Amino acid sequence: MQTVFIRKRGKKYVVTLEYRDSSDGKKKQKSLGSCDKKKDAGKLLIEEKSKINNNDFIMPEKTTFEQYLNTWIEQHKNNLSVTTYNRYKDIIDRHIIPHLGEFELQKLNPLQIQNFYNIMAQFLNSKTILQYHRIIHKALDSAYKLQIISKNPSDLVETPKIKKYKSNVFSVKEVQQLLETCKNTRLEVPINLAVILGLRAGEILGLSWDKVNFSNNTITIDKNLVKDRMSKSYVFKDPKSESSIRTLTAPKELMSLLKEQKKKQSQLQLQSYGTYNNKYHLLFTKINGEPMTSDSFSRMFRDFLKKHKFHLIRFHDLRHTNASLMLASGTSAKVASTRLGHSTIGITMDLYTHVLEGLEKEAADNISNLIYNTTSNK
């Protein structure tokens, strides 16, 4: 049985909960809040009684947001990929806890969270802040579902609006120059895989020779290579969605390039006297045969562009280039979506609206030429 009453302590009016502890059966008391005026304490008393009567009452705890976050992230570790866990842990430790960790979980309010976002907005872009918000919201939502808090305060916070990203792609001429320039360099294979097949960096770094079928000219994508920053080990993880697992038909020029790459690796294995060890049988590795992290790979690609005077783009923009060229050449959005491994065609349509708008105008011109020009020539 829970009882709530007002008790005076010094000059304060304290709203007090009396309850029987389920662990030992003894009566115990907890403060639910103190007020300077008796009438304010009376209002609080009514609120707390109403919560008890409506089964909305939550027992007060002194757990800080920092303590809760540390427990929450470890409890959810098995449900997160290695890269997601590492990213969440880094954001929690370096940013969220230093600003919000000291507040009591049950007293954390929307204003405190909003102030944190406003401070971050001075240094970070809206996309990054939204990542912080998603972590905070997930954590607090779990607390709400477990009835540790009565509501999720992050529901009431205004989140930043993300500007739609416009991909920075190469033209056909630039692609041709890039492919010519990268010939006989270490980046020739990954650049061709990105431009011709639209593969992500992680997919390229995790691609092994058993997934390349030279008889059928196909390549199967079913894993990504990531590095666990905590254990410093390499991890092959499943793609983000089932649709990302796909078998792609590759042009014969690309397959010929891969045959040469396989020969080079075999020769290197024989000539290296044990210094080259490609134990995962990957298409692309470090010079010694070890897997390469995406961060190192991105730096290598950027340095290559600088050295050869190309305008700077991300390696991922080669995937966007592939998609744009596919659509511009008449490939249907459905086929493009399947080859890119998008979970829905809507993602493809949304990402490449600018390309599709140009095709829509072309379609209008085509139907106009077909009908009106035909009619006028009669």
Co-location of 88 and 49 in the same domain: no
- 53-75 residues labelled b (16+ CB within 10 A) or e (exposed): eeeebeeeeeebbbebbbebbee
The answer to whether residue 89 is domain-embedded is yes
Both 96 and 126 in a single domain? Answer: yes
- The tens place of each residue's pLDDT in the chain, 378 residues long, gives 678 888 888 889 988 878 777 667 788 777 878 889 888 988 888 887 877 677 665 656 778 999 999 999 998 988 888 888 889 999 999 999 999 999 999 889 999 999 999 999 998 888 899 999 999 999 999 988 877 888 899 999 998 887 666 668 899 999 999 999 999 999 999 999 999 999 999 999 999 999 999 999 999 999 988 877 776 778 888 877 788 899 999 999 999 999 999 999 999 888 877 788 999 999 999 999 999 988 899 999 999 999 999 999 999 999 999 988 888 888 888 888 888 888 777 767 666 766 656 655 666 666 667 667 654 554
Q: Decide if 220 is inside a domain.
A: yes
Q: Are residues 191 and 326 in the same domain?
A: yes
* 297 and 191 within one domain: yes
Counted domains in the chain: 3
Same structural domain for residues 240 and 332?
yes
Give yes or no: residues 197 and 148 share one domain.
no
Round the CA-based radius of gyration of the chain to a whole number and report it.
30
Instruction: State the CATH number of the domain containing residue 90.
Output: 1.10.150.130
**Residue 164: Cβ within 10 Å count:** 8
Work out the number of other CB atoms within 10 angstroms of the CB of residue 302.
14
Q: Answer yes or no: do 90 and 222 share one domain.
A: no
Asked if residue 316 and residue 179 are part of one domain, the reply reads: yes
Please tell me whether residues 194 and 227 are part of one structural domain: yes
- CATH code: domain of residue 201: 1.10.443.10
- 155-181 pLDDT, tens digit per residue, is 999 988 876 666 688 999 999 999 999
Are 254 and 208 found together in one domain?
yes
Domain span at residue 282 reads 172-356
Fill in the amino acid letter for 167.
Answer: S
Q: Does one domain contain both 204 and 273?
A: yes
SS3 category, 249: strand
Helices 333-340 and 316-328: crossing angle, nearest 10°? Answer: 160
Do residues 134 and 223 both lie within one domain? Answer: no
205 domain-assigned: yes
Asked if residue 187 is part of any domain, the answer here is yes
